[in-house]
Chain A
Amino acid sequence: MIILQKIGLGLVVTGIVLFTYLLTQGRYTVTEDALGVASSFHQESILDKAREAGVLNHTYHSSAAFLSDYKGVITAAQADLASSPVPDGIAEWDYKIGDWKVKEYLQSASRSCLSGPVKENPLKWLLLTIGLAILGGLLYILPAFSKIPGIKHDGIYHSSMKRGLKLPQRSFFLLATVIGVLWYGITYMSGQWFHSLHTLLIGALVVYLVYFRGEKTAAAPRSASPSAVAWLGIVTGTYLIGFYILLYWFPQYISPWIEMVDPVSRSISGNPASQWFLYGFLYTIIMLVMGVRMIAKYRHNRYQIIRTLSVVFFQTAFAFLLPEILARLNQPYYDFKNIWPLNYTFFFDWNLSTLMSSGGLGIFMLVWGIALVLIGVPVITYFYGKRWYCSWVCGCGGLAETLGDPYRQLSDKSLKAWKIERYTIHAVLVFAVVMTIGVLYTYFSGSSRLLFLDSNNLRTWYGFLIGSAFAGVVGTGFYPLMGNRMWCRFGCPLAAYLGLVQKFKSRFRITVNGGQCISCGNCSTYCEMGIDVRHYAQRGQDVVRSSCVGCGVCAAVCPRGVLRLENGSVDIDTRTEPLRTIHIRSDEVGIL
């Protein structure tokens, strides 16, 4: 590592440390003008209670103390309003403070009451944190362009960051996350514990189907590495998991971060920043910087370069900028490349209403979204395989292919993992479909009950469990723990849908080059989807797997030129039949 890279790494770490430190630098003062409350009844009552509790005009130095006291104030006001009679002409649910309002008020107060360094100079802090990290990242990455082009995987399994975890450690993180999510899920669903219970039962069923059904012994635990522990990986994974938990469920604790990107948000959309703007902004910046890294690493490979440019473009233009610009033009906030069921809110009542009340453009968006699901996905996947979406367009895939690339080797290649994957990803697809049917039924009939299901609860639980916990906390937080495509492989319902098309009717396959395979295993090791590519390569069988996202890395890392991503219609139903390393057929002696 040259000195420039060391400096770069130092700057990245400094940027991240400062970024984290900012959360402790918020000061919060409750004043009459900054209660963070919209409704006038609520304002009055909360102001009274704040005065009573001595919270008013008091300056807090920690968000936790402030939020705890202020929550006391709001709940006191809530109790007060709940017990007093509703004035005439006011709807009851406008007058009283609903439970969900408490959370909203806390979050907006955490912004409006905020003072301190970030508030005074957000741009300075943006430069000192994210700016510094970008600069450092580029300093670290750019020297790679001076190396001789070729596969650069030296020392990956000697790296504390990238070597991956042993089975007990992986099990710990997975189990802790499952318990944490289900536990917090009870609170999240306002004390309704049976959502967590159902999810747990379905999980237990999958475990039973994979581990106990019809097989006498489970395979002995496999060692994931000969010795050392991936401490850097564990620290990074834990940090990412923590970030997602704050982002999704405790945004009131990250107001300084949101404040910091406020000027950027106002300059693009004209609106104040939300936690989602912060997330989109960071997401895009990280993809841009790590996209440069990906291109440096694979600059001998035009497929990888073009594909990386494509995902970065779709994230920057379609996922980040265009929706913000649409918002500036008073049009619906819409990501044109996000497809149901990955975009699970598409058929939600509020989204349908927004689209249908936004004139021609709104209707176009509605038709476009439905056409992508019904026509776009099957037709394009027929021609090119699911890669057109998963590794060329999709935002989740884009992050996995850029930020996640250093961890692609950590996907589990065992047959067990494949079995688990087939159950879970299709279970999520079924869940998404059932949830959406329920939501649409409610939209058209006005009744939230469909058979024994309550569509409102169902969609809240889906959003929590799948949309946040699985796609975010596990999907990205587990990059250094279990690989960069955890979500895409085990959970994404759109990937499941694309995969069905790819498996049964698509021109796409990975062709194997005759008998040239030497079974080295680079293809399997670097397959982020955990496909045992070598199994196919060493028997000369073309690879058609529903999970393959067509990233092309197996073909890139192959030292013998054995694999190629191809599309062809001639043998579409017999793609995987020839076994080209079979040297002798029973009726004749022939080569290959």
Chain B
Amino acid sequence: MHTVIIGNGVSGITAARTLRKLSDQRITVISYETEHFFSRTALMYVYMGHMRFEDIKPYEDWFWEKNKIDLIKDRVTSIDFESKSLRLDATGELSYDSLILALGSKGNRFGWPGQDLQGVSGLYHVQDLERMEQHSPGLERAVVVGGGLIGIEMAEMFASRDIDVTFLVRETNYWNNVLPEEESQMISDHIREHHFDLRLGVNLGEIIDNGQGQVGGVVIKESGEKIPCGFVGLTPGVSPNIGWLKEGPLETNRGILVNAHLETNQPDVYAIGDCAEITEPRPGRRPIEAVWYTGRMMGETVAHTLAGNRTAYDPGIWFNSAKFLDIEYQVYGDVPARPGEEIGQYFWKGPDGRKSFRILFHKEHGHVTGFNLLGIRFRHEVCEKWLRDQTPVDQVMSNLALANFDPEFYRMHEEEIVAGYNAALGRQVRHRAKRNLNHVLKFLKSK
């Protein structure tokens, strides 16, 4: 048995590692980007000088040989699904018994004039990082387009080198298509606190050539204002990186279509991670979820299938996290920007404007449905247990400290939060839990 995995991101590598634990079949991982797996989410820290590139590689270089995972750095040019073989640019032909497509994403481009000029880049690949590095010396202003997670990362990266940043965001507040309004406002305030030139509710009109094929500035569509700059970061989201597969027999839509078992329409071919589009996603989930955690879960799932235990993909309860400059963000459960009529909520904001807590619950049934946190860390497993058990929101509030995961000696806000909750909703919840690991462990083990 020979399993070939195309893509050495977290999905592909998790599949390879899990499969290696479960079976002794031959495993080959192909990537054109880098020789070894690295943490894509950490690329920004290399540019900012927090780490070296080698520090963002989660495994030392000897790991792959020791675990008998063959690595090929080459580009796949075509796949013959009939004869089960791949053609590689330099290596030639390679046959497989099972094939896992973990192709990842590519940055969106919306046909802006000037989008192919020198000094225009997204931030996804190592090569993008190299491009940013190359254009940084002497750079006075960068414009970042797109108010999502990668956009704010790029803005933070330039700011770390004292390069002025103009941040063009289409929405009326930062990321308010995902974040509820109050949180979105807090992050917008925090962005301004860092002296970024944040422009809300604007679109990119065009990117101007400086006469030498390089970026000279941008024009804002709405006002026609021209902003001179030497670099443009384009981060208006990502989409599956499947361009070269669209013409073949593989069934695709925006991504590679897969069923609940991550199987494509081709025999023994699977797709996982950012490039997979699930035909029938679970209720409340999107068909394509380009986040680290789902990629990891899919990699693990497909490995079980390949090891002879056909397993359906179950992403479980949604969670995610991020860091906006100095403010950490965590979400557990379902926290839409604008929840439906049946959902009630309570929001608390800390006095310094850098901490907040939001809890969502079902108005009729009274159970908790989601948590949204800024600047406060919560414990994943505790939140998940409350959500899975559909715990009544009052009960959650009275035990809130069980979930607190802030470092020791941090000021705890549970008393204030519960008092505010009681006042806002006319409840009489008494906050009784103390933050204590033994209590947490007992709670997690309880049925």
Those of B309-328 within 8 Å (CB) of chain A: 309, 311-312, 314, 316-317, 319, 321-323, 325-326, 328
B58, A561: Cβ atoms closer than 8 Å = no
- Give every chain B residue within 8 A of A414 (Cβ-Cβ): 60
Asked, given contacts A155-B48, A568-B438, whether A513 binds B41 with beta carbons under 8 Å apart, the answer is no
A518, B292: Cβ atoms closer than 8 Å = yes
A219 — nearest CB in chain B belongs to which residue?
B62
Q: Does A556 contact B (CB under 8 A)?
A: yes
B303 — nearest CB in chain A belongs to which residue?
A584
B61, A157: Cβ atoms closer than 8 Å = no
Those of A534-592 within 8 Å (CB) of chain B: 534-535, 538, 552, 555-556, 559-561, 564-571, 580-584, 586, 589, 591-592
A561, B48: Cβ atoms closer than 8 Å = no
Q: Does A448 contact B (CB under 8 A)?
A: no
Interface string of B46-80 (1 = CB under 8 A from A): 10111111111110111000000000000000000
Minimum Cβ distance to chain A for residue B207 (Å): 27
Those of B386-417 within 8 Å (CB) of chain A: 405-411
Partner of B441 from the list A148, A224, A570 (CB cut-off 8 Å) is A570
Q: Does B301 contact A (CB under 8 A)?
A: yes
* Stretch from A17-25, A255-263, A299-307, A438-446 that touches the partner: A299-307
Number of A residues, CB within 8 Å of B = 65
A564 to B314, CA, bound (A): 28
A518, B39: Cβ atoms closer than 8 Å = yes
- Give every chain A residue within 8 A of B442 (Cβ-Cβ): 570
Those of A458-495 within 8 Å (CB) of chain B: none
- Give every chain A residue within 8 A of B319 (Cβ-Cβ): 514-516
B379, A302: Cβ atoms closer than 8 Å = no
Partner of B42 from the list A154, A409, A518, A535 (CB cut-off 8 Å) is A518
- Give every chain B residue within 8 A of A143 (Cβ-Cβ): none
A589 to B380, CA, bound (A): 18
A425 to B436, CA, bound (A): 34
A155 to B384, CA, bound (A): 37
Q: Does B131 contact A (CB under 8 A)?
A: no
Partner of A520 from the list B42, B62, B411 (CB cut-off 8 Å) is B42
Q: Does A180 contact B (CB under 8 A)?
A: no
B48, A592: Cβ atoms closer than 8 Å = no
B330, A516: Cβ atoms closer than 8 Å = yes
A148 — nearest CB in chain B belongs to which residue?
B326
A155, B377: Cβ atoms closer than 8 Å = no
- Determine the interface band of chain B, counting residues with CB < 8 A from chain A: 35 or more
A31 to B58, CA, bound (A): 67
- Give every chain A residue within 8 A of B406 (Cβ-Cβ): 564
Partner of A156 from the list B50, B311, B322 (CB cut-off 8 Å) is B50
Partner of B328 from the list A153, A226, A413, A561 (CB cut-off 8 Å) is A561
Asked, given contacts A514-B381, A516-B380, A518-B41, whether A303 binds B410 with beta carbons under 8 Å apart, the answer is yes
Q: Does B210 contact A (CB under 8 A)?
A: no
Minimum Cβ distance to chain B for residue A534 (Å): 6
Q: Does B296 contact A (CB under 8 A)?
A: yes
Most central of B41, B51, B53, B438 by chain A CB within 10 Å: B51
A155-B161, A582-B300 known; 12 other A-B pairs, CB under 8 Å?
A149-B326, A153-B45, A220-B61, A303-B410, A306-B409, A520-B39, A521-B42, A567-B437, A568-B436, A581-B296, A584-B304, A591-B316
Q: Which residues from chain A sit less than 8 Å from chain B, CB to CB? A: 148-151, 153-159, 219-220, 222-226, 300-303, 306, 409, 413-415, 511, 513-516, 518-522, 524-525, 534-535, 538, 552, 555-556, 559-561, 564-571, 580-584, 586, 589, 591-592
**Can you give 28 A-B contacts (C-beta < 8 A)?**
A148-B325, A148-B326, A154-B48, A159-B49, A222-B54, A222-B61, A223-B54, A300-B326, A302-B409, A302-B411, A409-B51, A515-B380, A521-B58, A525-B50, A552-B408, A556-B407, A560-B322, A560-B323, A561-B405, A564-B407, A566-B437, A568-B438, A569-B438, A584-B311, A589-B312, A589-B314, A592-B380, A592-B384
